[in-house]
Structure 1
Amino acid sequence: MTARTPLRPLARILSARAAGENPDHIERENLRARHEAIREKTRHRAELRLLFLGLAFFVSFTVIGARMGLLAASEPMEPRSAAPGAQILAQRADITDRNGRVLATNLMTHALYAQPRDMVDPRKVARELVAIFPDLKEEELYRRFTDGRSFLWIKKKLSPEQMQKVHEIGDPGLLFGPREMRLYPNGRLAAHILGGSSFGAEGVHSAEVIGTAGLEKFLDARLRDPAQAGEPLALSIDLTVQAAVTEVLDTGMKMMNAKGAAAIMMDVRTGEIISLVSLPDFDPNDRPNPLVKGDPADSPLFNRAVQGVYELGSTFKIFAVAQALELGLVNPESMVDANAPMVWGKYRIKEFQNKNYGPLLSVSDVIAKSSNVGTAHIALMVGGLRQQAFLKSLGFFEPTPIELVEARSSKPLVPAKWPDIVTITASYGHGISASPMHLATAYATIANGGMAVQPTLLRRSGPPEGTRMLSERVARQSVAMLRGVVEHGTASYAQVPGYAIAGKTGTADKPNRAGGYYKDKVINTFASMFPANDPRYVLIVTLDEPVDTSSTEPRRTAGYTAVPVAAEVVRRTAPLLGLRPEIELPAVDGVTAVSQNQ
């Protein structure tokens, strides 16, 4: 703070008096100097204030002028509500197959809405709209146009042709709102994987696209994330393989007179799903409504590959044998009791068509001939607690972690208690129900050398880390036994020239809702892997209520129904997967001498 100069400094006063001068002049002179300093300071302060005020006015008018210029240069549009609310995000990421081919994308279209108060002739508008959209009713439209409302939606999606026809009506009360809709360019192909989508939050200027089923719903947050909207979501499926599997399965389902079918092809090393098909299917561009009554499995929306929880029959037998091999209880050549029927308390365990493969069978032949009794004795060697723990570790007690909302609600049906009779029946796939996806995952564990895999519909860069479930030796022995099923067992129709297939058939009577089982309705499954010498893929084919009528008597076992369909799938898809056929050279019976003339 600046010290103030005194008005009557003592030294000057004394000097003035000594000189005979008037000391009051000194006070008046100092007072004048002080006032001049105050006036100078006030003037500088006023100049600064005027400078800042001028700058503020200049900036304000510049901003207002620039804004007015932008508004004048932009296209006119209807005012939007200033009420607070969440912004509608219309952008949604594309979905592609593993090779970048588009499975789901976005298409710009328009919605049609009306402002009835601006209509010139509501009756004419109603009549002409019905001519364009036959599903609308003229009287209903006219009533809504004249009941006093100020706004109503008429159509959420318009084709360019329909939009042009509405334009030609020429009524100012008909308006269009831009829309970004979801488009599935391949129609029904991969419908149960993609699921479908619909509009969520809607406004005049945009609409939110949300997933309603399948992968679209499971990964809805990822697909709607603005940070990843420009990055397509790459799936593990191969569109070409998916098309081939769908075609073969559809033909096979019709030839075998089945009411439904499912097929899953999985890479055994990575767990990637190369193809997933469920029939009947639907077009996700025009997704049908769910059934309100009856059996949900009768709806085309029902995904049999993950929602269908079935008793999978004899395909389970390899699990009992593999566990016994791992525990060192048997080897492939061990002889086990196969004398049928097997009596256990009040229960009688029989073979198919009351056959008797006994008194003894090797473990390999138990699998090849699909012996219920032989498998039951092996399971009893393992014991119920260890069997239950092994099946649980293979994933048969929980929903599969595949990226489909339908899979998370499809939990296997497992007995609450596990007495010896459950140990017996579960060993050959009865009394425990699971989906084809569960089966594919478990078979992939055997096929890849004993490492557990997690199934996925998303493309992976390489094999993930897994837990060892079986030793490599036991896994190889199990694959060899499954190969024997094709070579001299119940799956002889799975012989495909150039491609060695290993697998196991399963024929399970279909449960009756009234209790017990149907005598003439079955679920047939063929669980396979190929090529058998070094498995790369697992293929599961399931048919619902098939019957082969090509013979004099109807045949309902998997060997006559699911197996030939699976064989055709392998024959069609193996070249697409880059697998070269193995050519077997004819055996040399003798030595042929060849002479060459010089």
Structure 2
Amino acid sequence: MIGNWRKRSQSTALSSGIVVDGQRKTTGGRSRTRLLMTMTVFFGLYAALTSRLVHLAVLEPEEGAGPQSRVTASRPDLVDRNGEVLATDIKTASLFAEPRRIVDADEAIEKLATVLPDINYEQTYNKLKSGAGFVWLRRQLTPAQQAEIMNLGIPGFGFRTEKRRFYPGGSTAAHIVGLVNVDNQGISGMEKYIDDQGLADLQASGLAIPRDLKPVALSIDLRVQHIVHDEITRALERYHAIAAGAVILNAKTGEVIAMASVPDFDPNNPFNAHEKDRLNRIAAGTYEMGSTIKSFTTAMALDSGKVDMNSTFDARRPITIGRQTIRDFHGKGRVLTLPEVFIYSSNIGSAREADVVGIDGHREFLHRMGLLDRVKTELPETARPSEPKTWKKVHSITISFGHGMSTTPLQTAVGAVALVNGGFLMNPTFLPRTEAEAMANATRVVHAQTSASMRYLYKLNATKGSGGSGARAAVPGYRVGGKTGTAEKVVNGRYSSDVRFNAFLAAFPMDDPQYVVLSIVDEPKPEKPGMAATSGLNAAPVVHNIIRRAAPLLGVQPDFRLEEEPLLVSSQ
């Protein structure tokens, strides 16, 4: 019995053991199944969410669906060469509406008009009745406007914080710094330049993070920029002109230290920025530059090796070619030496200088000096010079004294840099550049001796008692030299003796020029009844005032020991 009981117990135990093990296996399988199902559902949801996000990322936003992220894209500060802020981002509020939540559009507009009286009723009404999810009503409000609109308590109205560009100097450097649009994207000037260098791509990708955007330094000196802007604004009023402008270039590096043109605009409120009289006449306007071009004609003749400082030119009689007769303004009626041709600004003498070189050589020289090709620089707004399609002798003669070709004042100043710095042409830049960097990309365009001769002629022309037309630009201690330019403008197809474009091209100090300054006065009137309105009476004084005020800031030390008459350089 005992044996039978043991057998039954073992059988029962074995039987029980099989049953328990089967239960464990069944339970474990169900748990794994549930886990797999849970993971499948989770990954399915994750995949769906990821797919939706990718779809939304590539989908074009519907009109009125809400503000795009680029609206609040940041921009780097623009600063001058000394770190003074020229442009920066500030936070501002913009007003939007959700038309689906607007109860009474008429009442909403009436209330809004108490704060924004210039609001367009019809346009705003159509927006509020559109049924869209989102519409802009007014971008970039002042804090006071935002507070007043909030106090109106209009349901369906809201605000979004955006970035707005602020220019502390106002119009002082407007043509250089440029503008941004309402979405904080550069549309002109150096603002547009930095967008084109990759900022726009960073903004579009959402990577324009403020803390990562280092300030962009420009070559200009805000102190000197203020002086230039102030002087040309005074000249505009003093000489009753339609426009005025000036530029200062570093003769060693080609850096633009200051440049301004008036009338201009305030980039903080650029409502009139696109008016045609607001263009930057220094870089974006082309003009017949008058007798300033005689600088290049004389340099060309000297550089050809066919004449020297002792050469003479017959200016006793006018030159007649075809239907044109070339005369001198207050001519001497005698044979002139090369320095006399320059300081008396003889049209006849300049024509004979050009004749020595020839038509092809003349054209080639002006292209070599960069006067007939579009200037290469960072500023987007630059004009293309013009010249005759086919040069004939009459063209060479008239171009020799500044008529018959048009170039920009900036290019004229750039060419003058090469004439006084030893003969090296360098593209102008609005970014800081060392002398070594400038020379690495500079091109020799005239011989060193030609440059030395031109420095002498410039100084001679601005020395009192020499009879030169640039005496009014002289500043005691700063050894200023230069050349006037009075060009008659074309009116109704003919040159008018009463409508002029005046310029003065200068450099200082002439023993070792550090800076080139060019001023323009467009259509000046006599300052007083009975006075003339030539460049020596208006453009030259502008340069005088600019140098007098700016030279100390630029670190040029006055030296009164060198206020003697210039010595004639050797022509050997």
Give the TM-score normalised by the residue count of structure 1: 0.80
Measured in 2, the distance between the counterparts of 1:233 and 1:171 equals 42
The question of 1:411 aligning with 2:384 is answered yes
Q: Deviations over 1:444-498 (max 9, x none)?
A: 1112110111011111133422111111111011110111111120111112111
The question of 1:517 aligning with 2:492 is answered no
**Paired residue for 1:492?**
471
Measured in 2, the distance between the counterparts of 1:382 and 1:52 equals 98
Of residues 206, 212, 219, the one that matches 1:236 is: 219
Measured in 1, the distance between the counterparts of 2:337 and 2:28 equals 110
Give structure 2 stretches of 5+ with no counterpart: 1-20, 47-52, 61-67, 565-572
1:162 to partner: Cα distance:
1.2
Of residues 550, 553, 561, the one that matches 1:576 is: 553
Of residues 424, 428, 442, the one that matches 2:397 is: 424
**Paired residue for 2:453?**
477
The question of 1:127 aligning with 2:110 is answered yes
Measured in 2, the distance between the counterparts of 1:396 and 1:320 equals 12
Of residues 356, 361, 384, the one that matches 1:381 is: 356
**Paired residue for 1:323?**
300
Of residues 468, 476, 501, the one that matches 2:480 is: 501
**Paired residue for 2:346?**
371
Look up the equivalent residue of 2:444 and give its one-letter code.
R
Measured in 2, the distance between the counterparts of 1:504 and 1:378 equals 17
**Paired residue for 1:204?**
none
Identical pairs, percent: 35
Q: Aligned pair in 2 of structure 1 residues 211, 123: CA closer, same or farther (>3 Å)?
A: same
Is 1:255–1:548's contact at 8 Å kept on the other side of the alignment?
A: no
Q: Aligned pair in 2 of structure 1 residues 341, 170: CA closer, same or farther (>3 Å)?
A: same
Measured in 2, the distance between the counterparts of 1:525 and 1:272 equals 21
Tell which structure's C-alpha radius of gyration is larger: 1
Q: Aligned pair in 2 of structure 1 residues 178, 585: CA closer, same or farther (>3 Å)?
A: closer
Measured in 2, the distance between the counterparts of 1:441 and 1:332 equals 24
1:60 to partner: Cα distance:
9.4
Of residues 259, 263, 277, the one that matches 2:260 is: 277
Look up the equivalent residue of 1:88 and give its one-letter code.
S
Of residues 75, 80, 84, the one that matches 2:58 is: 84
Q: Aligned pair in 2 of structure 1 residues 81, 130: CA closer, same or farther (>3 Å)?
A: farther
Is 1:93–1:224's contact at 8 Å kept on the other side of the alignment?
A: no
Measured in 2, the distance between the counterparts of 1:112 and 1:405 equals 33
When the two chains are superposed, the root-mean-square deviation of aligned CA atoms in Å is 3.0
Q: Aligned pair in 2 of structure 1 residues 522, 184: CA closer, same or farther (>3 Å)?
A: same
Give structure 1 stretches of 5+ with no counterpart: 1-39, 66-78, 200-207, 588-598
Q: Secondary structure at the match of 2:435?
A: coil
The question of 1:467 aligning with 2:416 is answered no
Q: Aligned pair in 2 of structure 1 residues 49, 225: CA closer, same or farther (>3 Å)?
A: farther
Q: Aligned pair in 2 of structure 1 residues 106, 225: CA closer, same or farther (>3 Å)?
A: farther
Instruction: Tell me how many residue pairs correspond in the alignment.
Output: 513
Q: Aligned pair in 2 of structure 1 residues 469, 52: CA closer, same or farther (>3 Å)?
A: farther
Of residues 190, 203, 206, the one that matches 1:215 is: 190
Of residues 504, 507, 512, the one that matches 1:534 is: 512
Measured in 2, the distance between the counterparts of 1:101 and 1:305 equals 24
Q: Secondary structure at the match of 2:186?
A: strand
1:568 to partner: Cα distance:
0.6
Is 1:452–1:469's contact at 8 Å kept on the other side of the alignment?
A: yes
Look up the equivalent residue of 1:518 and give its one-letter code.
S
Q: Secondary structure at the match of 1:189?
A: coil
1:429 to partner: Cα distance:
0.7
**Paired residue for 1:450?**
423
1:47 to partner: Cα distance:
7.5
The question of 1:401 aligning with 2:376 is answered yes
Q: Aligned pair in 2 of structure 1 residues 258, 586: CA closer, same or farther (>3 Å)?
A: closer
Look up the equivalent residue of 2:69 and give its one-letter code.
I
Q: Aligned pair in 2 of structure 1 residues 586, 411: CA closer, same or farther (>3 Å)?
A: closer
**Paired residue for 2:100?**
117
Measured in 2, the distance between the counterparts of 1:368 and 1:510 equals 23
1:166 to partner: Cα distance:
1.5
Is 1:364–1:481's contact at 8 Å kept on the other side of the alignment?
A: yes
Q: Aligned pair in 2 of structure 1 residues 248, 119: CA closer, same or farther (>3 Å)?
A: same
The question of 1:172 aligning with 2:166 is answered no
Measured in 2, the distance between the counterparts of 1:52 and 1:196 equals 64
Q: Aligned pair in 2 of structure 1 residues 334, 548: CA closer, same or farther (>3 Å)?
A: same
Q: Aligned pair in 2 of structure 1 residues 418, 123: CA closer, same or farther (>3 Å)?
A: closer
Measured in 1, the distance between the counterparts of 2:33 and 2:534 equals 94
Measured in 2, the distance between the counterparts of 1:242 and 1:58 equals 68
1:535 to partner: Cα distance:
0.4
The question of 1:441 aligning with 2:421 is answered no
Q: Secondary structure at the match of 2:232?
A: helix
Measured in 1, the distance between the counterparts of 2:346 and 2:414 equals 24
**Paired residue for 2:570?**
none
Q: Secondary structure at the match of 1:179?
A: strand
The question of 1:348 aligning with 2:350 is answered no
**Paired residue for 1:37?**
none
Superposed counterparts of 1:119-268, under 5 Å: 119-138=102-121, 141-142=124-125, 144-146=127-129, 148-199=131-182, 208-222=183-197, 223-226=199-202, 230-268=213-251
Measured in 2, the distance between the counterparts of 1:350 and 1:145 equals 71
**Paired residue for 1:74?**
none
Measured in 2, the distance between the counterparts of 1:85 and 1:143 equals 26
